Amino acid sequence: MNRQVSAEQRTATVARLLQLRQAGTLTGEHVRLAAAGHGVAARTVRRWLHRGDQQQRAARPEWHRLSDTDREAYAYFRGNVAALARARAAVVAGESRAAGVPVPQFLIDGWAGAAPAALRTLQRAFAEQMTPAERAYWKTGEAGRRAADTYLQRPWTPRNQVWELDHKLLPILLLPRRGGAVQPWLTSVIDDGTRALLGWAITLTPSTATVLTALRMALTHEPDRGPFGAVPAHTRIDRGLEFAAEAVTDALAALVVGQHRLPGFTPHLKGKIERIHLTIEQTLLGGLPGYTHGPRDAAGRLHGPLSDRARDRENADTAAVRPMRLERFVTDYFAPWVAWYNTERPHSMIGGLTPLQAWNEDPAALHRVDERLLRHLLLAGEDKKVGPYGIRHNKLDYTAPELHGRGGQIVQIRYMPHDDRRIEVYAGGEHLCTAYPQGQLTDAQRDEFRRHAKDEAKRLAAARRRASRQARTVLAPLSDGQTGEAETRLVARADADQAGRRRDDEALRRRASTSLLGLVEPYALPPGQTYPKPTDENGR
Nearest Cα to 211, choosing from 245, 174, 238, 184? 245
**Residue 535 within any structural domain of the chain:** no
* Amino acid 485: pLDDT: 54
Where does a domain end: 59, 85, 102? 59
Question: Any idea what the Cα angle at residue 297 is, between residues 295 and 301, rounded to 5°?
Answer: 85
Q: Which amino acid is it at 143?
A: A
Q: Is there a single domain that holds both residue 264 and residue 128?
A: no
Q: Checking DSSP bridges between strand 174-175 and strand 324-325, what pairing results, if any? A: parallel
Q: Which amino acid is it at 506?
A: E
* Amino acid 202: pLDDT: 92
**Residue 389 within any structural domain of the chain:** yes
How crowded is residue 516: how many other Cβ atoms within 10 Å of its Cβ?
A: 7
Give Cα separations from 307 to 173, 299, 333 (angstroms). Answer: 9, 12, 21
Alpha-carbon distance 47 to 17, whole Å?
Answer: 12
DSSP state of 289: T
Q: Is there a single domain that holds both residue 173 and residue 319?
A: yes
3-state secondary structure 193-240: CCCCEEEEEEECCCCHHHHHHHHHHHHCCCHHHCCCCCCCCEEEECCC
Widest pairwise Cα distance in the chain: 170
Is residue 526 helix, strand or coil? coil
Alpha-carbon distance 304 to 291, whole Å?
Answer: 10
Domain of residue 284, CATH code: 3.30.420.10
Q: Is there a single domain that holds both residue 318 and residue 172?
A: yes
Q: Is there a single domain that holds both residue 385 and residue 481?
A: no
Q: 184, 203 in Cβ contact below 8 A?
A: yes
Q: Is there a single domain that holds both residue 317 and residue 191?
A: yes
Q: Is there a single domain that holds both residue 285 and residue 191?
A: yes
* Amino acid 2: pLDDT: 53
Q: Which residues in 344-462 belong to E strands, given as ranges?
A: 380-387, 390-393, 396-399, 410-415, 423-427, 430-437
Q: Which amino acid is it at 39?
A: G
Q: Which domain holds residue 278?
A: 162-361
Alpha-carbon distance 139 to 79, whole Å?
Answer: 5
CA 530 to chain centre: 86
Alpha-carbon distance 415 to 258, whole Å?
Answer: 24
Domain count, the chain: 5
Q: Is there a single domain that holds both residue 107 and residue 44?
A: no
Q: Is there a single domain that holds both residue 187 and residue 78?
A: no
**Residue 155 within any structural domain of the chain:** no
Nearest Cα to 96, choosing from 80, 85, 107, 84? 107
**Residue 538 within any structural domain of the chain:** no
Is residue 508 helix, strand or coil? helix
Look at the alpha carbons of 428, 434, 438, 443 in this order and tell me if their dihedral is positive or negative.
negative
Q: Is there a single domain that holds both residue 387 and residue 357?
A: no
Look at the alpha carbons of 505, 511, 512, 513 in this order and tell me if their dihedral is positive or negative.
positive
**130 Cβ contact partners less than 8 Å away, ≥ 6 residues apart:** 66, 71, 74
**Residue 532 within any structural domain of the chain:** no
Strand partners, 390: 387
Q: Is there a single domain that holds both residue 172 and residue 24?
A: no
**Residue 99 within any structural domain of the chain:** yes
**Residue 240 within any structural domain of the chain:** yes
Alpha-carbon distance 119 to 176, whole Å?
Answer: 57
Alpha-carbon distance 179 to 150, whole Å?
Answer: 45
* Amino acid 74: pLDDT: 95
Alpha-carbon distance 474 to 85, whole Å?
Answer: 107
Backbone φ, ψ for residue 516 (5° rounding):
-65, -25
**Residue 355 within any structural domain of the chain:** yes
Q: 178, 383 in Cβ contact below 8 A?
A: no
Q: Checking DSSP bridges between strand 396-399 and strand 390-393, what pairing results, if any? A: antiparallel
DSSP 77-119: TTT-HHHHHHHHHHHHTT-SEETTEEPPHHHHHHTTTPPP--H
Q: Is there a single domain that holds both residue 214 and residue 251?
A: yes
How crowded is residue 73: how many other Cβ atoms within 10 Å of its Cβ?
A: 26
Alpha-carbon distance 54 to 57, whole Å?
Answer: 5
DSSP state of 52: -
DSSP state of 298: T
Number of H helices, E strands in the chain: 20, 15
Q: Is there a single domain that holds both residue 267 and residue 186?
A: yes
pLDDT in tens for each of the 540 residues of the chain? Answer: 455 667 777 788 888 888 887 777 888 888 888 888 888 888 888 887 877 745 555 555 556 889 999 999 999 999 999 999 999 999 999 999 999 999 999 999 999 989 999 999 999 999 989 999 999 999 988 888 888 888 777 888 899 999 999 999 999 999 888 778 889 999 999 999 999 999 999 999 888 888 888 998 899 888 888 899 999 999 998 877 778 777 788 888 888 898 888 887 787 788 899 999 999 999 999 888 888 888 888 877 887 777 777 666 666 555 556 788 899 999 999 999 999 999 999 998 898 999 999 999 999 999 888 777 776 666 667 889 998 888 998 888 898 888 877 888 999 888 776 567 788 888 887 888 888 888 777 777 777 777 877 777 777 778 777 877 777 676 666 555 554 555 555 555 656 666 666 676 666 556 554 444 444 444 445 555 555 555 555 555
Q: Which amino acid is it at 381?
A: G
Strand partners, 381: 414
Alpha-carbon distance 160 to 416, whole Å?
Answer: 24
